[in-house]
Amino acid sequence: MKATLLLKERHTVDREAFAELLVWKVPAPVRGSTHSFKYSLAFVVSGLCVLRYDNEQGKGDHRHVGKSETPYEFSSPEQLIADFWADIDSWRSQ
């Protein structure tokens, strides 16, 4: 079984910023993760990725805020997306 694309969205946040969300259902967990989802969520401002959530192979679930990388505790795709948008709101209010 191949990966199944569940979500592919791009949202314009303002003239200089957009959010791109990609989520797949995978037949087996990505190395480093314990769930059956692969994801990449990015917030880009003026051509620079300032916030990213992903679970690339070997690193597991984590997020990037600027140049900092921290673990992320994945619970569900819905919570992942809610956390991502909350972080965007927080970043924009700074």
User: Two tokens at 25?
Assistant: 């259902």
Spell out a b/e string for 18-35, using b for 16 or more CB atoms within 10 Å of the CB, else e: ebebbbbbbeeebeebeb
Residue 77 exposed, middle or buried by CB count within 10 Å (0-12, 13-18, 19+): middle
- Those residues whose C-beta lies under 8 Å from the C-beta of residue 29, and which sit 6 or more positions away, are 35, 36
pLDDT in tens, the chain (94 residues): 699 999 999 999 999 999 999 999 999 999 999 999 999 999 999 999 999 999 988 889 999 998 999 999 999 999 999 999 999 999 999 8
- Sequence-distant (≥ 6) Cβ neighbours of residue 65 within 8 angstroms: 50, 51, 87, 91
